[in-house]
Chain A
Amino acid sequence: MELFQNSVFFGIFLSFLAYGIGLLFKKKLKLALFNPILIAVVIIILILVSLNIDYDTYQNGASFISCMITPSTVCLAVPLYEKLDILKKNYKALIVGISSGVLTSLLNILLFAFIFSFDHATYATFLPKSITTAIGMGVSEELGGYVAVTASVIIITGIIGNMLAEVICRVFKITEPVAKGVAIGTSSHAMGTAKAMEIGEIEGAVSSLSLVLAGVITVAGASVFANFW
């Protein structure tokens, strides 16, 4: 579609429109499956493919939205600071919880590498899957994984976390706000944290801390685990 080729606002408009439809779906059908991010992605992909619009035409404008991810992540320091007393009070639980989450993730990937007999590159691709995209891609590259696939897997992880956080916490009776925050931030980085922020202030602050710590611990942990397969 040549009409849209040089439009900056096409990508931005489409993203907002699709996300808006996603929010409507979520409001009408209160099911975790109807996650606004997931719905928006499906709608946009369907539109791009069916109208035969180039991916770059979309990103041309949409990149103006995604470039705000870094400044927004920086802002997570504010709730983190405001809830500092809660973090201090629970520091042992936080360290144990986040480290156990990182270890679980790495062990899980090792187990799957064994079950599906992955080659080393595929194994390295999945090792950093639970952490924020920018760190994860760096780790994957360092260990010889497929960086583009790592990026996709991390994003799908984020969507799943964003989608299932509330359901899982309910089903497994994770009711302590601090524990919820650790669960969400450790398993599904910034995309999960966005959901934790909607659930509550403590959950959001703890999830922010978890995404930072889990990211840093995984850098070290993944380089050790890379030798195991």
Chain B
Amino acid sequence: MKYLKQFCIIISISFTGEVLNKLIPLPIPASIYGIIILFTLLCTKVLKVSDVKEVSKFLIEVMPIMFVPPAVGLLKSWGIIQNNLWQYAVVTVVSTVVVMIISGLITQAFIRISKKERKK
């Protein structure tokens, strides 16, 4: 029963997110509405972490494999990508790496500065 109930809660929130996505004319997907809903329900104590704990832990753990099928979908748009392959590859790889480095370093610098200030 426990797992059934937890799964039920998560699926209902996902469904609500999907409905919001259809009703609200913004490019915000169901998953983002869903995170916000579940987060709000937890913050307002409507739900306890224990109400979704095990199933959410499981789903997060197996999440990487869920990205395999959409990634295989690359096969379909290969025709368009093929013509500009190296350009597209350079843009994608370089910008991903640069964003990771810059956002990480800026956040870290900010944290360290505020830690120092707190010590003073």
Binding site for B on A (CB under 8 A): 11, 15-16, 18-19, 36-37, 40-41, 44-45, 48-49, 55, 58-59, 62-63, 65-66, 68-82, 84, 90, 92-94, 96-98, 100-101, 104-105, 108-109, 112, 116, 122, 126, 129-130, 132-135, 138-139, 141-142, 146, 148-149, 151-153, 155-162, 164-165, 168-169, 172, 174-176, 178-180, 182-184, 186-188, 190-191, 194-195, 197, 204, 208, 210, 212, 215-216, 219
Contact = CB atoms under 8 A, between A and B. Distances in A.
The 6 closest A-B CB pairs, nearest first, are A138-B27, A101-B103, A183-B104, A134-B29, A97-B107, A74-B34
Contacts of B32: 73, 132, 134-135, 212, 215-216
Given A105-B95, A161-B100, A184-B100, A81 B49 contact: yes
Interface in B1-56: 10-11, 13-14, 17-18, 26-32, 34-39, 42-43, 49, 52-53, 55-56
B4 to A, nearest CB: 14
A120 to B, nearest CB: 15
Identify whether the interface residues of B are mostly helix, strand, loop, or mixed: helix
Contacts of B36: 77, 212
Contacts, number: 307
Contacts of B64: 19, 36-37, 162, 191, 194-195
Interface of B: 10-11, 13-14, 17-18, 26-32, 34-39, 42-43, 49, 52-53, 55-57, 59-77, 80-81, 84, 87-88, 90-108, 110-112, 114
A126 to B, nearest CB: 6
Nearest to B99: A187
